[in-house]
């Protein structure tokens, strides 16, 4: 076999591996938004294993990974009431919604016979930052310096104008100005100002 | 006692116990557990600690828990053990080891896709913070993509710690499975995330970190095996 044929074979093999790999370990992030408009506690399950428990009249927002290329398949979601009875099971298709940077898996559980809860507050939020590290950190929202959070402490900033999409604009820096990565999720009652929680850690300081 | 791969660096930490050991990759010389800690452990658990218990304790000295002074509470240990059980010894034993030729082959493809614009990541990984095709090396609608020890993450997700833990879980899976990883993954079902074992692990790790931002990163776990509660 000539060198040209071998080279061509290798290129074809490489493309086949890449084509297969495009589908493997390839993740898309979605915003999971669960609104419980009922007067009972509920539990929402995705992938038969991720469980989100919600108080009556409350909202939770989280990020969740899913298939990276369009499969046309929705997310199988099941909803249980406080008594454990299944209220609903559905395939939820992600959708683009204003106020979110990622496709949204919207799970809204209505109350039969009319909404039991106050209307959601929109366009404003509280940023609750929990510092699990033992050094002070500075919190930025885009170009705006919000302030500092003491070691092992929590500070609420705001109310600030904006939506869940603004959480992506948060930057946390330690004393040496190094960026610290963080976790974010939201949990609040309908009718209250949305509370977006951010938490981060770092190794204990040497003495 | 189980031999470890680690070199021991002694240093002082801000705790009541002044001298502890931090493991680093290198020579094998397990540290001696602190006698006070051994006595405390026996009193709490009603059994002798093993080497893994000691390593877990040292980890709790390196990262604060959720207690008022940064101590690890009982519920913190429960969360930590949930993470450990989810990853299992097959993956945890791959921490600190780059993987074989199969992993290296996939890492190379990842580096090629990232056009070699890689930053050093944790535990021998290399990370490209890139944009979607065609401007960058990540497929459309995709946020994270792992190839062996190479992780491609969307530039806008640079601060997303749970996502990095998800992708690092894939790194450990590659190191465990080697060249067989991609075929095995495809067999698990590309769009069938309800049943694909690799993604079931990934999404659960991601959720654990979303809810527990205090948890030390996975690569800080020193695994010698033999966890028992
Ligand atoms: Zn994944």
**Domains of chain A: total:** 2
What is the pLDDT averaged over residues A135-153? 97
Ligand 1 mean position to B203 CA, how many Å? Answer: 7
pLDDT computed for residue B180 by the predictor: 93
Ligand 1 mean position to B204 CA, how many Å? Answer: 10
The most confident of the ranges A112-121, B12-21, B131-140, B164-173 is: B164-173
Q: Which of B79, B58, B66, B73 is nearest to B15 (CA)?
A: B58
Axis crossing angle, helix B35-45 with helix B51-62, rounded to the nearest 10: 110
Q: Are residues A74 and A101 in the same domain?
A: yes
**Is 90 exceeded by the pLDDT of residue A112?**
no
Of B14, B163, B199, the CB nearest to A204: B14
The three-class DSSP label of residue B36 is: helix
Is there a domain that residue B166 lies in?
yes
Ramachandran region of residue A182, left (φ > 0), alpha (ψ -120 to 50) or beta?
beta
Is there a domain that residue B96 lies in?
no
**Is 60 exceeded by the pLDDT of residue B13?**
no
Task: Please tell me which residue, A44 or B11, carries the higher pLDDT value.
Answer: A44
Q: Are residues A155 and A105 in the same domain?
A: no
Cβ contact, residue pair B206, A26, below 8 Å: no
Q: Are residues A103 and A36 in the same domain?
A: yes
The CATH code of the domain that includes A164 is 2.60.40
Q: Are residues B108 and B190 in the same domain?
A: yes
Q: Does B190 lie at the interface with A, CB-CB under 8 angstroms?
A: yes
Domain boundary among A76, A109, A142: A109
The three-class DSSP label of residue A125 is: strand
* pLDDT grade for B23, boundaries at 50, 70 and 90: very low
Axis crossing angle, helix B161-177 with helix B101-113, rounded to the nearest 10: 140
Domain boundary among B81, B112, B132: B81
List of chain A residues whose C-beta atoms are within 8 Å of the C-beta of residue B109: 14, 17-18, 21
pLDDT computed for residue B4 by the predictor: 37
What is the pLDDT averaged over residues B162-179? 97
Q: Are residues B124 and B169 in the same domain?
A: yes
What does the alpha-carbon distance between residue B32 and residue B18 come to, in Å, rounded to a whole number? 14
Q: What percent of chain A has pLDDT over 70?
A: 88
What does the alpha-carbon distance between residue B26 and residue B9 come to, in Å, rounded to a whole number? 11
Q: Are residues A104 and A128 in the same domain?
A: no
Q: Are residues B66 and B113 in the same domain?
A: no
Ligand 1 mean position to A23 CA, how many Å? Answer: 10
**Domains of chain B: total:** 2
Q: Does B143 lie at the interface with A, CB-CB under 8 angstroms?
A: yes
Is there a domain that residue A74 lies in?
yes
Is there a domain that residue A136 lies in?
yes
pLDDT (tens digit, 9 = 90+) per residue, B31-83? 678 899 999 999 988 999 999 999 999 999 999 999 999 999 999 999 999 99
Q: Which residues contact B62 (CB under 8 A, 6 or more apart)?
A: A203, A204, B13, B22, B216, B220
Of B145, B206, B213, the CB nearest to A182: B213
Ramachandran region of residue B43, left (φ > 0), alpha (ψ -120 to 50) or beta?
alpha
pLDDT computed for residue A82 by the predictor: 83
Cβ contact, residue pair A206, B210, below 8 Å: no
Ligand 1 mean position to B193 CA, how many Å? Answer: 9
pLDDT computed for residue A21 by the predictor: 61
Of A18, A48, A132, the CB nearest to B214: A132
Domain that residue B202 falls in: 101-219
Is there a domain that residue A8 lies in?
no
Q: Are residues B49 and B131 in the same domain?
A: no
Q: Are residues B137 and B62 in the same domain?
A: no
**Is 50 exceeded by the pLDDT of residue B24?**
no
Is there a domain that residue B93 lies in?
no
What is the pLDDT averaged over residues A62-73? 79
pLDDT computed for residue B228 by the predictor: 57
pLDDT computed for residue B192 by the predictor: 78
Q: What percent of chain A has pLDDT over 90?
A: 74
Q: Are residues A104 and A136 in the same domain?
A: no
pLDDT computed for residue B137 by the predictor: 81
A residues 35-74 closer than 8 Å to B (CB): 47-50, 62-71, 73
Is there a domain that residue A167 lies in?
yes
Ligand 1 mean position to A33 CA, how many Å? Answer: 20
* pLDDT grade for B21, boundaries at 50, 70 and 90: very low
What is the pLDDT averaged over residues B112-137? 90
Domain boundary among B32, B48, B81: B81
Q: Are residues B105 and B69 in the same domain?
A: no
pLDDT computed for residue B227 by the predictor: 67
Entry pTM: 0.88
List of chain B residues whose C-beta atoms are within 8 Å of the C-beta of residue A91: none
Q: Are residues A96 and A132 in the same domain?
A: no
Q: Are residues B44 and B120 in the same domain?
A: no
The mean pLDDT value of chain B amounts to 85
pLDDT computed for residue B122 by the predictor: 96
pLDDT computed for residue A158 by the predictor: 92
Q: Are residues B212 and B115 in the same domain?
A: yes
* pLDDT grade for B7, boundaries at 50, 70 and 90: very low
Is there a domain that residue A141 lies in?
yes
**Is 50 exceeded by the pLDDT of residue A80?**
yes
pLDDT computed for residue A4 by the predictor: 72
Residue of A nearest to B159 (CA): A181
Is there a domain that residue A154 lies in?
yes
Q: Are residues A184 and A149 in the same domain?
A: yes
Is there a domain that residue A207 lies in?
no
Domain boundary among A53, A77, A109: A109
Q: Are residues A103 and A132 in the same domain?
A: no
pLDDT (tens digit, 9 = 90+) per residue, A4-53? 777 776 666 666 666 666 677 788 999 999 999 999 999 999 998 999 99
> What is the secondary structure of B102-148 as a DSSP string?
HHHHHHHHHHHHTTT--EE-GGG-EEEEE-BTTTSSBPTT-SEEEET
Is there a domain that residue B89 lies in?
no
Of B13, B68, B186, the CB nearest to A20: B186
Cβ contact, residue pair A132, B213, below 8 Å: yes
The CATH code of the domain that includes A69 is 2.60.40.780
List of chain B residues whose C-beta atoms are within 8 Å of the C-beta of residue A63: 160, 162-163, 206, 210
Is there a domain that residue B136 lies in?
yes
Domain boundary among A84, A109, A134: A109
The ipTM estimated for the assembled molecules is 0.90
Domain that residue A46 falls in: 28-109
Q: Are residues B130 and B77 in the same domain?
A: no
Is there a domain that residue B55 lies in?
yes
pLDDT computed for residue A206 by the predictor: 64
CA distance A16 to chain B (A): 11
What does the alpha-carbon distance between residue A104 and residue A87 come to, in Å, rounded to a whole number? 21
Ranges A63-72, B92-101, B127-136, B189-198: which has the least confidence: A63-72
Cα distance between the two ends of chain B:
18
Is there a domain that residue A6 lies in?
no
**Is 90 exceeded by the pLDDT of residue B162?**
yes
B residues 148-187 closer than 8 Å to A (CB): 156-164, 166-167, 170, 173-174, 181-183, 185-186
Cβ contact, residue pair A25, B145, below 8 Å: yes
Residue of A nearest to B185 (CA): A24
Task: Please tell me which residue, A104 or B16, carries the higher pLDDT value.
Answer: A104
Give the CB-side neighbour count of residue B83, counting CA atoms within 13 A.
29
């Amino acid at each position: 076999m000539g060198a040209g044929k071998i080279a061509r074979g290798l290129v074809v093999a490489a493309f086949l591996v890449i084509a297969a790999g495009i589908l493997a370990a390839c993740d898309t992030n979605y915003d999971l938004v669960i609104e419980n408009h009922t007067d009972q506690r509920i539990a929402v399950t995705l992938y038969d294993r991720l469980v989100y428990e919600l108080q009556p009249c409350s909202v939770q927002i989280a990020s969740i990974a899913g298939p990276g290329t369009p499969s046309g398949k929705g997310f199988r979601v099941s909803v249980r009431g406080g008594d454990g009875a299944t209220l609903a099971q559905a395939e939820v298709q992600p959708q683009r919604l204003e106020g979110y940077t990622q496709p949204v898996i919207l799970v809204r559980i209505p109350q039969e016979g009319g909404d039991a809860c106050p209307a959601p507050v929109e366009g404003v939020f509280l940023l609750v930052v929990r510092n699990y590290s033992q050094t002070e950190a500075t919190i930025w929202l885009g170009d705006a310096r919000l302030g500092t959070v003491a070691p092992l402490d929590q500070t609420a900033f705001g109310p600030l104008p904006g939506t869940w999409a603004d959480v992506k604009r948060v930057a946390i820096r330690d004393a040496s100005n190094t960026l610290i990565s963080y976790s974010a999720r939201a949990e609040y009652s309908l009718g209250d100002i949305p509370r977006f929680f951010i938490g981060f850690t770092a190794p204990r300081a040497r003495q | 006692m189980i031999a470890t791969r680690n070199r021991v660096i002694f240093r002082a930490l801000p705790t009541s116990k002044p001298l502890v050991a931090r493991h680093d990759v290198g020579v094998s010389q397990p540290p001696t557990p602190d006698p006070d800690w051994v006595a405390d452990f026996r009193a709490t658990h009603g059994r002798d600690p093993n080497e893994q218990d000691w390593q877990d304790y040292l980890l709790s000295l390196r990262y604060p828990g959720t207690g008022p002074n940064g101590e690890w509470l009982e519920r913190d240990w429960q969360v930590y053990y949930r993470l450990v059980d989810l990853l299992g010894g097959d993956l945890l034993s791959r921490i600190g080891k780059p993987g074989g030729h199969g992993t290296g082959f996939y890492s190379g493809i990842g580096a090629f896709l990232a056009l070699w614009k890689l930053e050093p990541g944790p535990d021998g990984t290399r990370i490209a913070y890139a944009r979607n095709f065609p401007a960058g090396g990540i497929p459309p609608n995709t946020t994270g993509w792992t190839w062996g020890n190479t992780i491609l993450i969307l530039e806008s997700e640079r601060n997303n710690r749970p996502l990095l833990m998800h992708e690092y879980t894939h790194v450990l899976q590659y190191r465990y499975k080697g060249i067989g990883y991609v075929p095995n993954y495809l067999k698990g079902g590309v769009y069938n995330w309800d049943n694909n074992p690799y993604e079931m692990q990934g999404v659960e790790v991601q959720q654990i970190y979303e809810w527990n931002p205090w948890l030390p990163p996975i690569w800080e776990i020193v695994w010698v095996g033999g966890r028992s509660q």
